[in-house]
Amino acid sequence: MISRREFLAQSSALCAIAAYAPGTLGAQTSLTPHQYKPFKTIHSICEMCSTRCPITVEKNATHLFIKGNKQAKSFGGKVCARGVSGGKLLNDPHRLVKPIKRMGPRGAGQWQEIEWSEAYSIISDKLLKISNQHGPESIAISSKSGSLANHIFHFAKSIGTPNTFTHASTCPASYKVAAKVMFGSKLKRDLKNCKYVVNFGHNLYEGINMSLTRAMSQAQANGSIKVVVFEPRLSIVADKADEWHMIKPGTDITLALALSHVLIAEKLYDHEFVESYVEGFDAFAASVTAYTPEWAEAICDVPAQDIRRIAQELAAAAPAAMVDFGHRTTFANEEFDLRRAIYAVNILLGNIERKGGLFFAKKSKLYNKLAGAEVAPSLTKIKVDNLPKPQRKRIDLTDPQFKFAAKGGGIYSAIPKAVLTKQPYPIKAWIMSRSNPMQTVSNRNQIQQCMEAIDFVVACDVYISESAAYADVVLPESTYLERDEDVFDKSSKNPAYYLRQRVYETIGDTKPSWLIFKELAEQMGIGQYFPWYDIRDYQQQQVVTNPSLLSRLQHQGYQSFGVPLLLREPKMVQNFRRHYPKAVPACEKGDYSHLLTFKTPSGKIELTAPSLEEIAPGRSVIKYHAETLKQENELFFIQGKTTLHTNSATQSVPLLRELQSSNPVWIHPVTAAERSIHDGQAVILSNAQGEEHGTALVTPGIRKDTVFAHMGFGSKHPEQYPATAKGVHCGNLLPDSVAPISGNDVHTTGISIRPA
């Protein structure tokens, strides 16, 4: 058994930090060594990133072993490098294990450890005062979405503020908003059965999503898929692709539009699909007439003959062919139309609800309806009566074009703006949980100014993150290995559920989100809005119509129901009907294509969306809008994920930190030589926004006009969170920008680079 002294000694030797901030595990000299319970296997959910894979944790007297849950076949019973390192997070001496309150100026790192009761009473008093003076809407609440976010967002509803924000505008907003507008809801990808995929910087072998990553890597290993990648740099996906084209950053839309141009001009599209399911084809076809491959080549640097050939190859492989719509959709301002243009190609390929294409999740409600019987259990949404109604609109609804963005997680940067400009009305308090905007929202400077100006900030985190460093009170959340959470719907081609379960006794004085926000509400006198006794009671209320679901999930962690179903695949429909004798009859094509409907104003796929004219004139038809992402003499600065860390979250985790502690700046040899930069040299990146110090990584695997860095490093608070301090802080170089309709941040900008 490793004693506490030993692991602290090991870890502190590694990061060479003598003192630990108050509240951290390293500062808890009185904490007794942790008792491991021998040999037990528990199924749970990873939280080392927001993919949240189903995991199986085995522990013996000295170690935790984290593996993938074998029940969840699409995840292949595997976890990634970060998933397997979760046990190290538990014992990281920089981990926060006690509530702390600020003693000196904001951000100065002067803290005092306090009890939860004091933390709750400080927060409650302050929020009630602010709410009475300025209205509850003046309190902003942000959290990465997911099961733990349900509770903080429910707290927001209970106090009556509409101002809740997820990470959406810094990540998936564009593809989600585009899907909502075109299809009425979001889609999933069937990469496993895909024969031909066009990938616009979906970095699946570094920005890991276990089920998609495994699906694509297995298809590649089987030789059953052709992968064509458009990427400004040699990512691992580009390296493993059949074809890699070094596209110019921010110009993907031209290529996507040119693919549609070829499919329509050469009549290679699925006419029948378009006739049956699509509105607005003619307007779209007219719009793309001008977007020839030659036109695209001049802007995006990909040869016209390749674009034409790729469109033809896609059509030949359809419907088991797709253009992947990506994940972090923040390359440019015109992301909304880029992601619409990508969906447009998929629509023309007719791959919706086909194997190897795009599909909708089959949640139990739809699945049971089709089966003609209750074959899969459903979760009950816990109803809470008489929640207060906010009196003011959200702060990001200043322009009707952001209607979809506001509903889908909000425009995160509206918070600092409302604090600093008091427009549309002032935000006076900010409660953030599992969110580190100082690192992950563009324009760090603006966030810092906001943090200095705002009346009150609370952060709930597992570390004193760069943002928590500016809080008045920091609440230590138990890590995911120490907490139970809600039952979660994980449906894909058939209904599925999974459950996070505590696998470890709580270290120090931490609490899970569900408890923190319930207790805070009770302190504020609004405990009636949390009508569950504890998380077990909450789970039981979720499964009230099928209580055995909970015991099965406790036993096996993950469970799927029925057989996979795609509405336009006759064989799958036949199989489904064999399983369920009372199932809805198939149509004359032998499938459920007659049941495919869309939650859009027309009930069809809106390739052109007339209703957009009401909120954003001129936007109904997908078009190219020229944009400038950098000054003439600058280089493009782009970012991406590293396999070894998650965004700004894991840089301190022992093991991962040892493997990667900084983010070298990729630069092409010719560009480097022009600036007398050599490999490993200290460099300065600068632009109108800021200046960052880093180290050059000279590589031919990037365009000459582009530099690249992994995000999540270069924190400005080394004394509190030392492991994140090295390297380039990407958000400090990114100007504030709100893209049309989707409201997303833009992560591509211009920089100059010189030797330090």
Ligand X SMILES: Nc1nc2c(c(=O)[nH]1)N[C@H]1C(S)=C(S)[C@@H](COP(=O)(O)OP(=O)(O)OC[C@H]3O[C@@H](n4cnc5c(=O)[nH]c(N)nc54)[C@H](O)[C@@H]3O)O[C@H]1N2
Binding interface with ligand X (CB under 6 A) = 47, 49-51, 82, 144, 148, 167, 170-171, 200-204, 206-209, 230-233, 235, 247, 249-250, 252, 326-328, 331, 433-436, 440, 460-463, 465, 477, 479-480, 638-641, 643, 645-649, 708, 711, 730-731, 734, 747-748
Least spacing, CB of residue 337 vs ligand X, in Å: 14
Cα gap 298→648, rounded to integer Å: 37
Closest approach, Cβ 412 to ligand SF4, in A, equals 21
Distance CA 100, CA 110 (A): 10
* # chain residues binding Mo ion, by CB under 5 A: 1
Helix axes 304-317, 293-300, angle to 10 degrees: 120
348 versus 447: smaller Cβ distance to ligand X: 447
Q: Which is nearer to ligand SF4, 214 or 668 (CB)?
A: 214
Between residues 48 and 358, which has the closer beta carbon with respect to ligand SF4? 48
The CB-of-79 to ligand SF4 minimum distance in angstroms stands at 4
Residue 730 binding partner per list ligand X, Mo ion, ligand SF4, none, with a CB distance cut-off of 5 to 8 Å that depends on partner kind: ligand X
**What one-letter code names the amino acid at 549?**
L
Nearer to ligand SF4, 53 or 177 (CB): 53
- What is the token pair recorded at 105? 């100026």
Q: How far is the CB of 240 from ligand SF4 (least distance, A)?
A: 18
Smallest distance, ligand X to C-beta of residue 651, A: 9
Alpha helix (H) residue ranges in 414-534: 414-421, 437-440, 444-453, 513-523
Smallest distance, Å, CB 641 to Mo ion?
8
Most distant CA pair in the chain, distance: 74
> What's the min distance (Å) between Cβ of 274 and ligand X?
27
DSSP state of 146: S
| Closest-CA residue to 725 (of 439, 432, 333, 481) | 439
The neighbour count for residue 400, using CB atoms within 10 Å, is 10
59 vs 355, beta carbon nearer ligand SF4: 59
b/e burial code for range 39-53 (CB count within 10 A of at least 16 → b): eeebbbbbbbbbbbb
Tell me whether residue 210 or residue 629 sits nearer to ligand SF4 (CB atom): 210
79 binds, options ligand X, ligand SF4, Mo ion, none, Cβ within 5 to 8 A by partner type: ligand SF4
- Binder of residue 46, out of ligand X, Mo ion, ligand SF4, none (CB less than 5 to 8 A by kind): ligand SF4
Determine, following the binding rule CB under 5 A, whether residue 238 of this chain makes contact with Mo ion.
no
CB of 208 or CB of 405, closer to ligand X = 208
Question: Residue 189 or 308: which CB sits closer to Mo ion?
Answer: 189
Q: Residue 435 touches which of ligand X, ligand SF4, Mo ion, none (CB < 5 to 8 A by kind)?
A: ligand X
409 binds, among Mo ion, ligand X, ligand SF4, none (CB under 5 to 8 A by kind): none
Distances (CA, A) of 77 to 51, 146, 387, 477, 671: 14, 22, 42, 28, 44
DSSP state of 673: H
Which residue is nearest to ligand SF4, using beta carbons? 83
83 binds, among ligand X, ligand SF4, Mo ion, none (CB under 5 to 8 A by kind): ligand SF4
- Within 10 Å of residue 446's Cβ, how many Cβ atoms? 21
Q: Tell me how far, at minimum, the Cβ of 432 lies from ligand X, in Å.
A: 9
Mind giving me the DSSP string for 97-115?
Answer: -S-EEE-SSTTS--EEE--
Q: Which stretch binds Mo ion (CB under 5 A): 169-177, 384-392, 484-492, 514-522?
A: 169-177
Read off the tokens for 34.
């942790």
For residue 604, which amino acid is it?
K
- Is 205 or 530 the residue whose CB approaches ligand SF4 more closely? 205
Binding site for ligand SF4 (CB under 6 A): 46, 48-49, 51-53, 79-80, 82-83, 208, 210
- Torsion over CA: 103, 106, 109, 115 (sign): positive
Q: Which tokens go with 151?
A: 């509770």
Closest CB to ligand X among residues 608, 661? 661
Phi and psi torsions of 359, nearest 5°: -150, 165
Tell me which of Mo ion, ligand SF4, ligand X, none is bound by residue 52, counting a contact when its beta carbon lies within the kind-specific cut-off of 5 to 8 angstroms: ligand SF4
- Picking from 543, 497, 495, the residue whose alpha carbon sits closest to that of residue 375 is 495
Q: How many CB atoms lie within 10 A of CB 159?
A: 22
Q: To the nearest whole angstrom, how small is the minimum distance from the Cβ of residue 164 to ligand SF4? A: 23
Indicate the residue among 69 and 715 with the shorter CB distance to ligand SF4: 69
Contacted by 93, from ligand SF4, Mo ion, ligand X, none: CB < 5 to 8 Å by type: none
Residue 722 CB, shortest distance to ligand SF4, in Å, is 22
| Two structure tokens written together for 565 | 């179903």
Whose Cβ is closer to ligand X: residue 80's or residue 583's? Answer: 80
Q: Are strands 139-143 and 164-165 parallel, antiparallel or unpaired?
A: parallel
Asked if residue 320 binds Mo ion (CB under 5 A), the reply is no
Helical axes 304-317 vs 252-265, angle rounded to 10°: 60
SS3 track for 317-357 = HCCCEEEECCCCCCCCCCHHHHHHHHHHHHHHHCCECCCCC
Whether 413 and 442 have beta carbons less than 8 Å apart is answered as yes
473 to 512, contacts with Mo ion by CB under 5 A?
none
Residue 168 DSSP symbol: G
Q: Which is nearer to ligand SF4, 284 or 488 (CB)?
A: 488
Considering the complex, state which of residue 522 and residue 705 has its C-beta at the smaller distance from ligand X. 705
Q: If you count them, how many residues does the chain have?
A: 756
Rounded to 5°, the CA angle 99-105-106 comes to 60
Minimal CB distance residue for ligand X: 201
Which residue's CB is nearer to ligand X, number 464 or number 605?
464
Q: Give, in order, the Cα–Cα distances in Å from 742 to each of 78, 109, 243, 409.
A: 34, 36, 30, 10
Counts for the chain of helices (H) and strands (E), in that order: 26, 27
| Cβ 480 to ligand SF4 shortest distance, Å | 9
CA atoms within 13 A on the CB side of 296: 27
Name which position in 48, 130, 171, 371 contacts Mo ion (CB under 5 A). 171
CA distance 334 to 317: 29
Least Å distance, CB 711 to ligand SF4, is: 16
- Tell me the closest approach of the beta carbon of residue 584 to ligand SF4, in angstroms: 35
Handedness of CA 360, 366, 370, 371 (dihedral sign): positive
Min CB(80)–ligand X separation in Å:
6
**Minimal distance in Å, beta carbon 85 to ligand SF4?**
8
For Mo ion, the binding residues (CB under 5 A) are: 171
